[in-house]
Amino acid sequence: MSGFGTILEAMLDAGLVVALVGSDRSCRGLDVARSAGLDTVLVDRLTYGGFATSFEREGFTASLTAALVERKIDLIAMAGFGTILSAGFHEAYPGHVLNTHPSLLPAFKGWHAVALALGAGVHESGCTVHIATETLDDGPILAQRRVPVFSNDDEHSLHERIKTVERELYPRVVGRVMAAMGEGFEPATVAGTLEGD
């Protein structure tokens, strides 16, 4: 995570077992995790070049992956994580990385999805929970939830409406994926039962 930790709070409120909370920068989400007594790991982007063009993506990815493997993490739920990871991460966790995105993918990929949706004049947007791959905002869709776009919406108001829905949908999907894994199924096997949920 890289943000305020509201999705983490929603997951904890839903009773999900969270083994570790990781981040690429100091953020409120880490404080939420520590207050809940959770193990945390900070692999700070600043150590690897920050946000400059010289950012050492491979080194950052290797450090984060090693921290997760060392703690025997088997399912990763990204939320607001602002760093694109290189192939090594997805090779270590193939099909075991979930992500939530504030648009109805495949529309409006990337960090500015809400602004792009407004700029396109769409009448509805929403959120998508999907299995993350090396390709940005790609991978099998597990669930989507739609929200209306109002004529007086700005980026903040629409994003807040999406986040309200996201905080309900994402924990529910993560819980169902965890249950499927407990039964010996891979995360992707739940895609057919959740898509359009």
Residues serving a catalytic function are 101
Q: Is the dihedral of CA 24, 29, 35, 37 positive or negative?
A: negative
State the first-to-last Cα distance of the chain, in angstroms, to the nearest integer. Answer: 24
Q: Could you give the C-alpha distances from 8 to 12, 14, 99, 118, 177, in angstroms and in order?
A: 6, 10, 13, 27, 16
Distance, in Å, from the CA atom of 184 to the CA atom of 4, rounded to the nearest integer, reads 33
